[in-house]
A and B are shown apart, each in its own frame.
Chain A
């Protein structure tokens, strides 16, 4: 047995990195395996967005008129919003379990394992984000029904936007779970902040000049840039859709910054508050 203190620092550093990668890998695969293992959860996770899309989309279809692109029906307009909702819900339900799991569950054993706490944040966020991506991927099979040709989609942009968005929302959910440390408080933030943020992301309706406050809120909302990025990737219209008025470059840049900030916040939380 070699005492760790005697190892040259470069070797110790490489060894620490391997510990962290192992921790990330374990948390990642655990969330995915658990998701794929629970058929009721898979069915629920897929049926709910389809029901939302059909009911709200169908109900609004006759009254909604998209000024920027009149040929876009509501079913088509709403579709990217549903994709984002799936990623959001997956991150909420995937991270609310952190509250229990850290005190009486698997996460407890990972926290006292050899990986760093930053690795715990990243592994958990990637794991939860991946679950959201798997769900979104299945829902994308319905894209042609919404009027998006599978061949027309800018897949690279779509995967980047959804992937970085899922990572950011999961890390944000992780911070929330860690800092509130109470399921009730998490639920409150979910109802008061996260769900309204989705409604105000351009998922359900585009910003309007008639409501300056709402339009400002939508511009300040990171989720707007996720919706905008997905709209760009799906080519909802020929022209840039006016969701938050963001160009593709701006959308992806804001999204990337949001994900980085969320991971930083979660890492800060997990080191600061034990």
Chain B
């Protein structure tokens, strides 16, 4: 009998192969009720594959799922009834209107006829799409489509949401609003969220994170605990020729330097003491900007795995 302390979902020793290539290797984690749990990793780390298994789209080679205290097969109907899913790829019909898409989703999940119209109206409001309700989805912007996807996943008031990169393509304001709504839904309904992301600022909003790399779970911890694992400050020296900056630093200082698109980055203890010495090593005009910050989750990812979370930003090699 499930109790309040039983995890909502336990993933145990999940492995997936595409032909002979291993894409998920012994992945285990558990998600508590009402928790916001994130899978943090770059593209290709196995986040979407994990979700494809959880939703029954893909069959794993090995592993088991325990949902609400009961062992289930991946994609079992009881779990499909109780979860909402937002995939990375669009799943609304672009030739139908926003309202029609939501009504079809409501019928699919057997929302009672008497409740459907009100539910759809509420969700259109939640997605800021009330005045576009009867426009076809293909006329919406990318951000609007993304918000509609999220609204569709909520149509049956699920207790559990799976969100694959939910805020990709959203601008800063939409990102903020989406997160406000998600945290409010969690507070009001005890909604549990399992999401994947490669954005450090999104990962920071999760209660706990599983760091995923190359199909394996590197570690599971809270964002704060993860950040505490990297000591020192990240110092960035920007300039038109990052390679040359790196060469100059390597010749004079002992620190490992990472070359990025706009400049170079290094992790040092007591960064504020090092910055003047770094800057004096260069003739005037060679550097365009200098910045220092506490390590972000992108920097944590790098220190845990030895490579970058995304192609741009972070301590990319």
**Which residues of A come within 8 Å of B, CB atoms?**
1, 3-5, 16, 18-19, 22-23, 25-26, 29-30, 33-34, 37-38, 103-106, 108-116, 274
Given A30-B93, A108-B89, CB of A114 within 8 Å of CB of B108? yes
Does B87 contact A116, Cβ atoms closer than 8 Å? no
Which residue of A is nearest B79, CB measured? Answer: A4
Quick one: given A26-B104, A274-B59, are A34 and B96 in contact (CB under 8 Å)? Answer: yes
Contact among A16, A26, A33, A104 for B90, CB-based, below 8 A: A104
Point out the residues of chain B lying under 8 angstroms from A26, CB to CB: 104, 107-108
A38 with B80, Cβ < 8 A, contacts A18-B110, A113-B108 known: no
Instruction: Name A109's contact: one of B75, B95, B152 (CB within 8 Å).
Output: B152
Taken together as a complex, chains A and B put the C-alpha atoms of A103 and B89 apart, in Å, by 7
Name the residue among B58, B83, B109 with the largest chain A CB count within 10 angstroms.
B109
Closest to B162 in A: A112
* A109 engages B85 (CB within 8 Å): yes
Minimum Cβ distance to chain B for residue A188 (Å) = 23
Q: Report the separation of the CA atoms of residues A34 and B89 in the bound assembly, to the nearest whole angstrom.
A: 20
**Which residues of B are found within 8 Å of A3, using beta-carbon distances?**
2, 68
Task: Flag if A114 contacts B104 (CB, 8 Å).
Answer: no
Q: Could you list 28 examples of A-B contacts with CB < 8 Å?
A: A4-B77, A4-B78, A4-B82, A16-B77, A25-B107, A26-B104, A26-B107, A30-B96, A33-B100, A34-B93, A34-B96, A37-B95, A104-B91, A106-B92, A106-B93, A108-B57, A108-B91, A109-B87, A109-B91, A109-B108, A112-B56, A112-B80, A112-B83, A112-B85, A114-B77, A114-B110, A274-B56, A274-B58
Of residues 59 through 118 on chain B, the ones whose CB sits less than 8 Å from some CB of chain A are 59, 68, 70, 75, 77-78, 80-83, 85, 87, 89-93, 95-96, 100, 104-105, 107-110
Once bound together, how far apart are the Cα atoms of A18 and B77, in whole Å? Answer: 12
A37 to B101, CA, bound (A): 14
Which bucket holds chain B's interface residue count? Answer: 20 to 34
Q: Which residue of A lies closest to B152 (CB)?
A: A109
The 5 A-B residue pairs whose C-beta atoms are closest, nearest first, are A104-B89, A4-B78, A109-B91, A112-B55, A106-B93
Q: A113 vs B100: C-alpha distance in the bound complex, in angstroms? A: 17
Residues on the A chain within 8 Å of B57, using CB:
108, 111-112, 274
**Contacts A26-B107, A112-B57, A114-B109: A105 and B80 contacting too (C-beta < 8 A)?**
no
Residues in B whose Cβ lies below 8 Å from that of A116: 77
Distance between Cα atoms of A116 and B80 in the complex (Å): 10
Collect the chain A residues with CB atoms within 8 Å of residue B87's CB.
108-109
20 additional A-B pairs beyond A108-B89, A112-B55, beta carbons within 8 Å, are A3-B68, A4-B77, A16-B77, A19-B77, A22-B109, A26-B108, A30-B96, A34-B93, A104-B90, A105-B90, A109-B87, A109-B108, A111-B55, A112-B56, A113-B105, A113-B108, A114-B80, A274-B56, A274-B57, A274-B58
Contacts of A113 in B (CB 8 A): 80, 105, 108-109
Q: Which residue among B56, B58, B95, B152 has the maximum number of chain A CB atoms within 10 Å of its CB?
A: B95
Cβ of B159 within 8 Å of any chain A Cβ, yes or no, is: yes
B96's partner among A19, A33, A108, A115 (CB-CB below 8 A) is A33
- Whether the pair B105, A109 counts as a contact (CB closer than 8 A) is yes
* Nearest A residue (CB) for B89: A104
- Closest chain A CB from B116 CB (angstroms): 12
Inter-chain contacts of B81 with A (CB < 8 A) = 4, 19, 114
Given A26-B108, A106-B92, A114-B80, the answer on whether A5 and B59 have CB atoms closer than 8 Å is: no
Q: Are A105 and B56 in contact (CB under 8 A)?
A: no
How far apart are the CA atoms of A110 and B87 in the complex, in Å?
12
Q: Which residues of B contact A30 (CB under 8 A)?
A: 93, 96, 104
Q: Which residues of B contact A114 (CB under 8 A)?
A: 77, 80-81, 108-110
B75 touches A112 (CB 8 A): yes
What CA separation (Å) do A40 and B272 show in the bound complex? 67
The distance in angstroms between the C-alpha atoms of A103 and B48, with both chains bound, is: 12
Q: Does B107 lie within 8 Å of A22, measured CB to CB? A: yes
Cβ-defined contact, A22 with B58, below 8 A: no
Which residues from 182 to 227 on chain B have a C-beta closer than 8 Å to any C-beta of chain A?
A: none
Q: Could you tell me the distance in whole angstroms from the C-beta of B14 to the nearest C-beta in chain A?
A: 15
Q: How far, in whole Å, are A5 and B67 apart by their CA atoms in the complex?
A: 11
Give the chain B neighbours of A112 by CB distance below 8 A. Answer: 55-57, 75, 80, 83, 85
In the bound complex, do residue A1 and residue B159 qualify as a contact, i.e. CB atoms below 8 Å apart?
Answer: yes
Minimum C-beta distance from A13 to chain B (A): 11
| Separation of A104 and B89 alpha carbons in the complex (Å) | 5
Question: Taking the nearest CB of chain B, how far is it from the CB of A157, in angstroms?
Answer: 33
CB-nearest residue of chain B to A29: B104
A93 to chain B, nearest CB (A): 14
- Tell me, rounded to whole Å, the shortest Cβ–Cβ distance linking B146 to chain A: 14
